Chain A
Amino acid sequence: KAGVTQTPRYLIKTRGQQVTLSCSPISGHRSVSWYQQTPGQGLQFLFEYFSETQRNKGNFPGRFSGRQFSNSRSEMNVSTLELGDSALYLCASSLTGESGSPLHFGNGTRLTVT
């Protein structure tokens, strides 16, 4: 079974621009979560989607948004990029997304904001 696929692997953007990251979950997984990983803050939860509905959102500004499509694929968008948005963005999928459900992570998209 193919794992979680994230595209692109690397992105360089300028402050003020917006960016869209893509995630394809493991086949059959209906829940997709997004996490931000930085050296200073570690891994932080962004949001979780199940059947195209956002069920939970972390403590991030409204510039961070996401969506899930009917085939469970997901995208996240960051608008008006700031230098502090430079991070590794990780997508994870699980069968149900319920608490305690094991998450399977992709290898992430490395975003650099200059």
Chain B
Amino acid sequence: QKEVEQDPGPLSVPEGAIVSLNCTYSNSAFQYFMWYRQYSRKGPELLMYTYSSGNKEDGRFTAQVDKSSKYISLFIRDSQPSDSATYLCAMDEPGRRALTFGSGTRLQVQP
């Protein structure tokens, strides 16, 4: 079993929809949680960063971490065609200095 599980999709939604992306993990030592966006032929770009549990909002993006359930989410409001990309969750634990990534969810926002 992988340390981080993520549904690969693809997830197809109409423009303007609310998108929910999720990851589950098994390593209770993870304390740092990130979401990256990767466009085709590009490197991952950091979207959201959360330390420990809680919510964080940045514009149309909201990240949630529930450590008791070992479950993290990324919500995208008013989705746009430009949001079409692969979304990767990533996690790290204190002292490790190495991200463990989910497999990525491919999102397609239809105009």
Contact = CB atoms under 8 A, between A and B. Distances in A.
A99 B93 contact: yes
Interface residues of B, number: 27
Contact of B32 (A4, A45, A90, A100): A100
B71 interface: no
Interface in B65-111: 88, 90, 92-104
A16 B34 CA distance: 37
B42 A56 contact: no
A13 interface: no
Interface in A29-44: 31, 33, 35, 42-44
Given A42-B102, A42-B104, A43-B101, A99 B96 contact: yes
A108 B43 contact: yes
B53 interface: no
In the complex, which range does the number of interface residues on chain A fall in? 20 to 34
B92 A99 contact: yes
Central interface residue in A4, A56, A105, A106, by most chain B CB within 10 Å: A105
A55 B55 CA distance: 31
Given A107-B43, A108-B43, A48 B49 contact: no
A102 interface: yes
B71 to A, nearest CB: 19
A88 B46 CA distance: 18
Interface in A1-55: 4, 31, 33, 35, 42-45, 48, 55
Interface of A: 4, 31, 33, 35, 42-45, 48, 55-56, 58, 90, 92, 97-108
